[in-house]
Structures are given as structure tokens and as C-alpha cells.
Amino acid sequence: MEMLKKSKYKNVAVVGVGAVGKMMLRVLKERKFPVDQLKVLARTARKIRVDGKVFNVEKINHESFRGIDIALFAGTEGEKGASVVYSSSAIRAGAVVVDNGGDFRMKKDVPLVIPEVNPEDIKKHRGLIANPNCSTIQMLVALYPIHKAFGLKRVIVSTYQAASGAGQAAIEELRSQSRAVLQGKDVLAPKVMGKQIAFNVIPKIGEFLEDAYTSEEIKLVKESHKILHTSKIKISATCVRVPVVNSHAEAIYIEVKKKSDVSKIRNVLKSAKGIKVVDQPKAKRFSLPIEASGKDAVYVSRIRKDAYVKGAFWIWVVSDNLRKGAATNAVQIAEYL
């Protein structure tokens, strides 16, 4: 399918008003996306307030997409989202769908896109483009420049994922549990996380699969292979939920094909799009989730050589999972369209 016809302004629909949907509205405004008419759609009609502005939310139906050029589906992680029900109607009405949910990511005819990595795949769309998982996005923004310069052989990643990755209800659960612990009260049985998250870590995101990996861990592997157009890179992951409100962190071990060193890798990362290198060990400067929250960059720190394996390195990667890991990536795709 061809890209959208050229005109200054676009009619945009945002589907979903949870944490990601609200962030999409914020990012559209911040990046001055040329919106003509904006529709906000959800399962129930109501009013919401984002940064002081009131939005009228319309109840979604199959006729909601008439006249819409781009439909941004906020997605519901871990369950069937609105895109399964309504994306076909949006496409038939002439819209291009950018879906943040996980239902279409691995479909052969659906491009899975990170604009800093594979923007050329946007042109291959047939009306629908998928946003990768948040942990995949920040990992590949950091790893793609290294892969391009030196070639990746192996990746081992441990993620430290914030409560916001599980939605607004998970954020509230973390806060309420933390208050209970600090006040010496009993923590109520968790409804969102499955286990207590306050003052704790949970080494399970998604569902356990037959091979004892979780669905979140397999997403990192399969999505990375699809985006990089190769399955030859050996990727393994452990995904952990941590008691952080927002912004994911990842400790990533890599092995490269070509001869390299820390300074070369640091220089490649410094010149790459979307990355901010904060790596001054002597000054104790490195990136934290709380510092990345509210920003669009992917922050890379702790760049160091593995002490025992030739051609192996470690990096520490932090990014706002609601912004670059979801809303901002989707709006960037819309900008390319």
C-alpha cells in the first residue's frame, strides 16, 4: 500500500484512554503532529483530562473511522485488544492503523517497526503497522547501531520492567501496596501483578510457556529477529517486574563479530539516532529509570568489556516505556506516514 497522500493536516483517531492512550494524546501535542480533526475512542463515552485539556471520548463502533487518516490503537498488553475487533473497519474506511498491542506483531504481512531501526518497512504495510513490545524497542534502539557497525552474534538480556508496563491499575497496585507496607498494614491480595510487587521483584512477565520461558521473554527474541530481518543472532532473555512506577531498565550482554573496543562502541552509540550516552564511571554518572521518565531518548550507560569473553561487552539501557516504548514510537511511525 502506498504512503498517505500529501496534505498538511491529518485526521487522527486515538483508540484507548489508559496509560498509553493518554500518553499518545500528550505526544501528539508535544511533537506538534499536524492534526486536523482528532477523535478519542474507547469502550465507553466520557470526558478525560490530559495536561489540563478536556477530551470528549466517544464510544467506539465500526463506523467511528470514517474520514480518519491514521488510527493509533493504544493496545492492551496480554489480552485481545480493540485492534482485533476494529482494525479491519478502520482500514476499510481508508485509515492506516498503528497498533501498540501484541495481536499482529508476528503476522507476516504486518510490518513491525522501530523508526530508528527499520523505517523502510513502513512502506510495506497493507493498512496496518505494529509497534513492538516496549522492552524490544529500547533494546534494539541501543543494539542496532552496534549490529550495523560490528555485527551481533549473541545477546543475553535481563530486563527490570516498571509497573506502568502492566497498565494504570498496576501502578495503583504498586502505590497502594507500598503505602500498606510503610504503614505496617497487611498488603491486600494482588489483583494485577499476581504477586506482591511493593519492596519485591517478580521474575515473571506474561505467561509461562512449555519451555519455562515466559511470553514476554519470547517476544524479545522473536520480535528482534523480525525487526532485524535475521534469526541468526542468538538471543536469550529474563524479564523481571520491579517496584518502579515508570521506565524500564535492561542489562544487556552482547558478543560482536568484528573487532571492537569500548571506545568504538561508545562512539557508535553517541552518533546514533534516539540514543543519549550517559557513561562516566569515574564521575559516577549513569542513567536511572526515574531520570528517563518523561523523556523520549533511550539512555545507555555502563559500557564495558566482558572480562573473560573476547568480543563481548555489557551495556545498561534505560527508557520510558510509555513514551519511546509505546506512544512516541507509534507517533514517530505516523510521522513517517
Catalytic residue chosen out of the listed positions 125, 147, 239, 248 = 248
Is 239 known to be catalytic? no
156: Cβ–Cβ under 8 A, 6 or more apart, which residues?
235, 236, 237, 252, 253
Catalytic residue chosen out of the listed positions 125, 134, 147, 239 = 134
Going across the sheet that includes 312-319, the strands are 234-241, 152-161, 248-256, 312-319, 298-305, 275-277
Q: Which of 267, 294, 295, 289 is nearest to 279 (CA)?
A: 267
Distances (CA, A) of 160 to 112, 157, 165: 23, 10, 11
CA dihedral sign, ordered 160, 112, 40, 294: positive
Strand segments, DSSP code E, in 43-93 are: 46-50, 53-59, 70-73
**Alpha helices, DSSP H, located in the chain:** 19-30, 82-92, 134-150, 168-182, 215-228, 262-270, 289-292, 328-336
The full length of the chain comes to: 337
Distances (CA, A) of 126 to 88, 92, 149, 281, 285: 11, 11, 31, 47, 45
Q: Which of 288, 328, 313, 304 is nearest to 26 (CA)?
A: 328
Cα separation of the two ends of the chain: 11
Nearest-angstrom CA–CA distance, 330 and 114: 9
Catalytic residues: 134, 248
